Structures are given as structure tokens and as C-alpha cells.
Amino acid sequence: MATVVKKIKLQIPGGKATPAPPVGTVLGPAGVNIGQFVSQFNEQTKDKMGTIIPVDLSVYDDRSFTFVLKTSPASRLILKAAGLEKGSGATPTEKAGSITKKQVAEIVKEKMPDLNAGSPEAAERLISGTARSMGVDVK
């Protein structure tokens, strides 16, 4: 059984990984076959084109690797739901936009496997708090 020698966390746009930096510069020193990683990642994420996808990569002592795809960061999902490019730079005085409780519930449904909340209600409070900290109202 191969042992894990390195754990790497990356955030890459779905279906758009390339051997260029930052991917290549992080994976090269770890001894990962960059072309193999790029093609596997792009194959698994082609349905999520352009969405930022966090990846947990485990590199083994025989230079093989495995990776786990996570759901997009909550902040990205909130911006997408609100139709915004970025949050407010002056929270709480300046609001960037708003999302509905229904949109929050949809974000929770998508994000639940990666959240450390015990119930959907707690997860909704978590997502609502993230939205508020970005200057996005929940109505």
C-alpha cells in the first residue's frame, strides 16, 4: 500500500485546468504527472465549466495520486445566485445585492456534503451569515 507523502489543495475553474501556473508550479515539485492530473480533472468537471472547484489532492510515495472534488465555495455560489461579480467592499454600510431564502435553500442543497452543519436549518444560517458578511441581503 502506497503512503501519502503530500496533500495539496487547489481551486481550479471546472474543465479549464492547464499545466500552466498555478497548477503546474504546485504539482511539479510534488512529482505528480501534471498532464495526467489535468486530463482527469477536466474530464470529471466538464459539466461545471468555469465554476471554481476546490480539489483535495493526495500524492503517494510511488508518484501516483488521487483527488477529491469539493463543491464551489459558498461565497461563489452566493455571488452567482445574486448575479454579482463581487461582494460589497464596505459591509455593513453598503449592500451589494440580495438573494431570496429559496436561493439560500438551493445553495444549501448543493453545498451540504461539504458543510459541517448538523441540519439543513443550521446550514441555511451558515450560508445566510456568509451572504451578510459579503454585503448580500437575504430576503
Q: Is domain 74-138 in CATH 1.10.10.250, yes or no?
A: yes
Whether pLDDT at 91 is above 70: no
Contact 125, 101 (CB under 8 A): no
For residues 83-103, give the mean pLDDT: 73
Return the axis-axis angle of helices 120-133 and 74-82, rounded to nearest 10°. 70
pTM for the model: 0.69
What pLDDT is attached to residue 92?
Answer: 65
Q: pLDDT digits over 46-81, tens only?
A: 777 777 888 888 888 888 888 888 877 787 777 777
Q: Where are the domains of the chain?
A: 4-69, 74-138
Domain 4-69 falls in which CATH fold?
Ribosomal protein L11, N-terminal domain (3.30.1550)
Average of per-residue pLDDT values in the chain: 79
